[in-house]
Amino acid sequence: MKGTHLGEFEELILLIVGVLYPDAYGLAIMQSLKDQSKRSTSMGAVHSALSRLEEKGFLNAHLDDATHERGGRRKKLYEITAEGKRSLELNRSLRNDLWNQIPDLAFEQLKNG
Amino acid sequence: MGDFRKKTDSQPPRLAVRFFKWFCKESWAEPLLGDLEEQYQIHRKAHATWIANLKFYINVFTLLRPFAAKSHYFNTNHAAMLKTTFTIFLRQLKRNPAHSFLTIFSLCVGLCTVFISSLWISYHESFDEMHEDASQIFQVKRNAIASDGTIQTRGGALYEVLQEAKNTLPAIDHVTRIISTWRWPSEQCLKVDESVDCLYRKGIFSDSSFFKVFDFKITAGAGNPLTELRSIAFSASVAKRLFGDENPVGKKYLLDNHYEVTVTGIFEDIPATSSLQFDFVAPLNVAYALWGMSIDQMKKGSFDTYVKLNNAEPMTVADQIASVPISKNYPEDSYLLHPLLDQHLYTQFENGKKAGGLIDYLRIIGLFAFFVFLMSLVNFVNITTAQATARAKEIGVRKVSGAQKSALQLQFLFETFCKVLIAIALAALFTYLTIPLLERIIQEEIPVRIETDTLLKLLVVALVTPFLAGTYPSYLMSRFNPVEIIKHTSLKEKGKGSVRKWLTVLQVSVSCIIITMASAFYLQLNFLQTKSLGYDPQGVLMVEPTFSHIKAFESFKDQLRSHPQIEAIGISNANMVQATNTTDQFYWPGKSSDQETEFKIIGGDQGLLEVFQLNLIEGNGFNPRDTIRQMVLSSGAVSAMDLEDPVGKTVEMGSEKYKVAGVVADINSESLHWDMMPTIYYEVEPRYSGTFYVRYDPLQPIASIEAVEKVYDEFEPFITMKYKILNEEYQRAYGHEQMISNLTSMVMAVAVFIAIGGILGLLTFNISKRYRELGLRKIFGASDFQAFKVISKEFTLILFLANLIGGVVSFWMMQEWLEGFAYRIDLPVYLIPLNLLGGVIVTFALLAFKIRKVLIQNPVEVIRTE
């Protein structure tokens, strides 16, 4: 059984898959990642993260119908699964929890400084 | 993906796409290629083509990740695969036993040749390895510049130079001198009491550092046995023969019946792989005492000398030896440290460097064995591919039911692997069984030593051979087109057939080389052994005298001559089969100051001239009553000295004056590798001679030897006479050549055998392929001879081509080899057409035999067969 831990990069990808629904495929995800987070990644990194997420069960993939673009090749489209959503929520609540625990004082001093 | 085949402007680089398709998993290829292409089109719009192309390449490389890479045998059940493959292999073996036998047997013969020859080679390479620091032991050789400018390498080194070198140079740990002659005093008649026969054994005399340089194991006695002056150490087996089960250490022993020594040690028997062979070792001064020489004489003079270094660079040490102060007295000498490990393999020197020796023959045999192995591989490939058509249907069915090329290739490789394993097992058995026979033929030991090293090599052979033998057939067979096979149209045989033809050409030309070379070896050796030496080697006995005979030589000689069978008796200090003493220290009237000619010197008497049939051309020969020292020159020496009327002239050798007493013809007294040298015979007294040479009536050998024995016993009743027959010694001088000739003849037989197998394989295949064609030809009225001609055309071409290639190569090899002999046969060029003729006869005979089977059948039957 693969680990179900969600890395930071994986989390970003997973979110973008959600954002791009229903047209989330490799290249689009990569470009969106670049536009939104100003992060330039390699095609290999994106696809390998996608395949890992699919293996962990956070993503479902299917091939769409062929078009005349892309030399007639089909795209591999991704969707978030329920498992993926749960994992995202877990990450988010953990983060919120941590936010709430930060004492106001911790940020107060920043203003003064 | 035909859309990538046409290269238009907007296509991504094809090479990158091909590379991508090669490594990428089928399931991922489509979406990923799509992404790649989409990205590429975007880049094309934004950037120059080359940048877009570059980015495409970069993207492809970033995708080179495990998730996308092909995993080859994913989802394959390996065990089940292997099992079926093995079952099919066994069925194939059974279905076609003749074919299986032929392939396995030819591999087996090739492997067996490789095994035996590598055992033989590694045996010779293992010489002298038993010493722990073998790589640090060197023999000191002396390089001297000869008159003709060449550098002559000699064995002996001056003791005073090495003594000083040892004392001053830190690189040298030990120096040891060795006296090891081929006869007395190194050879001793060993016995403890007078009632038993002699045990003739060879020993050496050396310094006390001997056991520090060499690692011969001492089994009894305290420490170093050579520290006392009158001591001796025996080998274990000789000690047992001499002293039985008693402890020999501390016992007294009489050498030559008069010189008492004490046994101070026993050493393990010297292994056969040592180039120093001896059964006893005694201090140097013992040898001098036996010779009746003083210890002072021992300090001067040159000896076979070995040094042990402490990891120093031998070249540097050699230079250092040449520059110790005392070396200034010998400015023309330089030194060569010849490694002990090379001693057995390299015995010839050229220009002051090792040049060759047995190693040349090891290489020739190694090369031949490799050739034979190559031929057996070719046979395997030829027979397997020829048989491939028979399995075409199996391949077709497999392909149709979804077998991939790689799976088929794997299957055939596995089959080859099984066959190779069987062949290796058979070859090992075969090797084991044939070695005793071989040892008798080449008269040399081939010990079978199984070490981890051997097993490792065997493993490499087991893994590499299947690839060498199986790659091409499996490649070929996995590429059959299933549709064509199942439709039963003829397979495209043209391309494949020509590879097979070329392989056969290779095979036949290699066998042609081996046959020609082996014949040349045989002819040359035969020539050497029957060549006139200048005297008749038949009917000469070499008798080893003892001190009693030498003392009373004149009466010994008179008694011997009273026997009618004995024709002449002479003495010499040299071995007349291998006389190697030379010097240029000669002065004669009219010698120009810059002339430095080397002469061979042989000490002898008038009797020696008679024994060796050296008839006097001028002068009267040695006159024993003359008080002045005399010498007899060979006619070669006279012309080298440019002397007119030599008889009566005075020639100085070293510091001694000699009167020329006669001139004789040149004879050969050395290996025929070398030319006859101008020879000078000088008079020696019997006490300096080592051997009596007796010429007897060759028609009565037994009576003659008995007569000599009788006279011998009168002077030395308790010692068994030791003698050699000159002719046998002469044959023995060519021991290596004889052995190589025998060995190559055997390799030749194997090569011929394999070549015939190869031709037979190709023939069978060709006839079976043209079976129906032959039947049709017969129906249309072709005569048997015409049918024969159709098939034989191809083979004639192969034979001609192969003999041409083989002829050229062997011509060159023969020339190279024969140049090493001063006396050699004319280049046997006639062997090459002879070879061709033999090949044609054998092939046509096989062809006639095979084709007859087809031709005597009813042609209708022939056509009907599928």
**CA-based nearest residue in chain A for residue B12:** A71
pLDDT band at B670; cut points 50, 70, 90? low
Contact A74 B59 (CB under 8 A): no
| Nearest CA-CA distance, residue B53 and chain A, Å | 15
Rounded to a whole number, what is the distance in angstroms from the first to the last CA of chain A? 49
Whether the per-residue pLDDT at B479 is higher than 90: the answer is no
The amino acid sitting at A69 is: E
Whether the per-residue pLDDT at B613 is higher than 90: the answer is no
**CA-based nearest residue in chain A for residue B37:** A70
Which residue in B10, B27, B35, B56 has the most chain A C-beta atoms within 10 A of its own C-beta, making it the best mutation to test that interface?
B35
Chain A environment of B67 (Cβ under 8 Å): 47-48, 51-52
pLDDT value of position B834: 86
| Nearest CA-CA distance, residue A65 and chain B, Å | 11
Chain B environment of A45 (Cβ under 8 Å): 62
**CA-based nearest residue in chain A for residue B66:** A48
The amino acid sitting at B498 is: S
| Nearest CA-CA distance, residue A46 and chain B, Å | 9
B318-372 pLDDT, tens digit per residue, is: 888 888 887 777 777 788 889 999 888 888 787 778 877 788 888 888 888 898 8
Indicate the range of A77-86, B65-74, B219-228, B477-486 predicted with least confidence.
B65-74
pLDDT band at A98; cut points 50, 70, 90? very high
Alpha carbon distance B22, A31 (integer Å): 27
| Spatial contact of B791 and B766, defined as CB atoms under 8 Å apart | yes
Chain A environment of B68 (Cβ under 8 Å): 47-48, 51
Query: B586 vs B846, which has greater pLDDT?
Result: B846
Contact B67 A71 (CB under 8 A): no
pLDDT value of position B166: 82
Q: Does A40 touch chain B (CB under 8 A)?
A: no
**CA-based nearest residue in chain A for residue B38:** A70
| Nearest CA-CA distance, residue A82 and chain B, Å | 24
pLDDT value of position B565: 85
pLDDT value of position B126: 86
pLDDT value of position A112: 62
Q: Which residue has the tokens 């070896």?
A: B521
Alpha carbon distance B541, B543 (integer Å): 6
* Residues facing B348 on adjacent strands: B356
pLDDT band at B494; cut points 50, 70, 90? very low
B614-657 pLDDT, tens digit per residue, is: 888 888 888 877 778 888 888 888 888 887 888 888 888 777 78
B660-669 pLDDT, tens digit per residue, is: 888 888 777 6
pTM for this entry: 0.69
Q: Name the DSSP class of A74.
A: P
Q: Name the residue among A89, A88, A41, A85 with its Cα closest to residue A60.
A: A85
Report the residue from A42, A47, A69 with minimal CB separation from B32.
A47
CA B231 to chain centre: 40
- Asked if the bond preceding B624 is cis, omega within 30° of 0, the reply is no
Contact B35 A27 (CB under 8 A): yes
Whether the per-residue pLDDT at A96 is higher than 90: the answer is yes
pLDDT value of position A19: 92
Contact A73 B59 (CB under 8 A): no
| Spatial contact of B204 and B281, defined as CB atoms under 8 Å apart | yes
| Nearest CA-CA distance, residue A66 and chain B, Å | 10
B67-103 pLDDT, tens digit per residue, is: 888 765 445 566 777 788 888 888 888 888 878 888 8
Q: Name the residue among B256, B282, B287, B286 with its Cα closest to residue B551.
A: B256
ipTM of the complex, rounded to two decimals: 0.87
| Spatial contact of A10 and A49, defined as CB atoms under 8 Å apart | yes
Contact A25 B35 (CB under 8 A): yes
Chain B environment of A75 (Cβ under 8 Å): 31, 34-35
The amino acid sitting at B131 is: H
Find residues 76-105 of chain A whose CB sits inside 8 Å of chain B: 76
Chain A environment of B61 (Cβ under 8 Å): 44
| Nearest CA-CA distance, residue B404 and chain A, Å | 25
| Spatial contact of B666 and B539, defined as CB atoms under 8 Å apart | no
Greatest mean pLDDT among A97-101, B197-201, B486-490, B762-766: A97-101
Q: Which two tokens stand for residue B8?
A: 């238009």
Q: Which two tokens stand for residue B757?
A: 């197998």
Reported as type and span, the H/E element at residue B305 is: strand B302-309
Find residues 32-61 of chain B whose CB sits inside 8 Å of chain A: 32-39, 58-59, 61
Count other Cβ atoms within 10 Å, centred on residue B333: 17
pLDDT value of position A101: 92
Find residues 66-95 of chain B whose CB sits inside 8 Å of chain A: 66-68
pLDDT value of position B77: 62
Alpha carbon distance B678, B639 (integer Å): 9
| Spatial contact of B651 and B658, defined as CB atoms under 8 Å apart | yes
Contact A26 B62 (CB under 8 A): no
The amino acid sitting at B90 is: L
pLDDT value of position A92: 92
Kindly state the average pLDDT of the residues B693-702. Answer: 87
Alpha carbon distance B111, B117 (integer Å): 10
pLDDT band at A14; cut points 50, 70, 90? very high
| Nearest CA-CA distance, residue B77 and chain A, Å | 23
Whether the per-residue pLDDT at B731 is higher than 60: the answer is yes
Q: Does A75 touch chain B (CB under 8 A)?
A: yes
pLDDT value of position B422: 92
Contact B37 A43 (CB under 8 A): no
Average confidence score pLDDT of chain B: 81
| Nearest CA-CA distance, residue B771 and chain A, Å | 52
Q: Name the residue among B844, B835, B846 with its Cα closest to residue B761.
A: B846
User: What phi, psi does B650 have (nearest 5°)?
Assistant: -105, 130
The amino acid sitting at B599 is: F
| Nearest CA-CA distance, residue B26 and chain A, Å | 13
How many Cβ contacts (< 8 angstroms) between chains A and B?
65
Contact B37 A51 (CB under 8 A): no
**CA-based nearest residue in chain B for residue A54:** B67
B732-787 pLDDT, tens digit per residue, is: 777 677 777 888 888 888 888 888 888 887 787 778 777 778 888 888 888 888 88
Q: Does A71 touch chain B (CB under 8 A)?
A: yes
B526-540 pLDDT, tens digit per residue, is: 787 776 677 777 888
Alpha carbon distance B159, B207 (integer Å): 11
pLDDT band at A50; cut points 50, 70, 90? very high
Report the residue from B3, B31, B58 with minimal CB separation from A72.
B3
pLDDT band at B1; cut points 50, 70, 90? very low
Alpha carbon distance B647, B104 (integer Å): 74
Q: Does A66 touch chain B (CB under 8 A)?
A: no
Kindly state the average pLDDT of the residues B4-30. Answer: 76
Query: Which CA distances in Å does B204 have to B1, B270, B292, B732?
Result: 84, 12, 17, 22
Indicate the range of B460-474, B580-594, B846-860 predicted with least confidence.
B580-594
| % of chain B with per-residue pLDDT over 70 | 92
Chain B environment of A47 (Cβ under 8 Å): 28, 32, 35, 63, 65, 67-68
Chain B environment of A42 (Cβ under 8 Å): 58-59, 62
Chain A environment of B62 (Cβ under 8 Å): 42-45
- In sequence order, the 6+-apart residues with CB closer than 8 A to the CB of B42 are none
Whether the per-residue pLDDT at B412 is higher than 90: the answer is no
| C-alpha dihedral, B391 to B395 to B396 to B399, nearest 10° | 180
Which residue in A47, A48, A54 has the most chain B C-beta atoms within 10 A of its own C-beta, making it the best mutation to test that interface?
A47
Query: Which CA distances in Å does B641 have to A4, B150, B633, B679?
Result: 103, 20, 10, 11
pLDDT value of position B749: 86
Report the residue from A47, A71, A75 with minimal CB separation from B68.
A47
Contact A47 B67 (CB under 8 A): yes
Q: Name the residue among A48, A51, A15 with its Cα closest to residue A33.
A: A15
Query: Which CA distances in Å does B20 have to A26, A49, B405, B679?
Result: 17, 19, 20, 81
| Spatial contact of B800 and B836, defined as CB atoms under 8 Å apart | yes
Contact A44 B34 (CB under 8 A): no
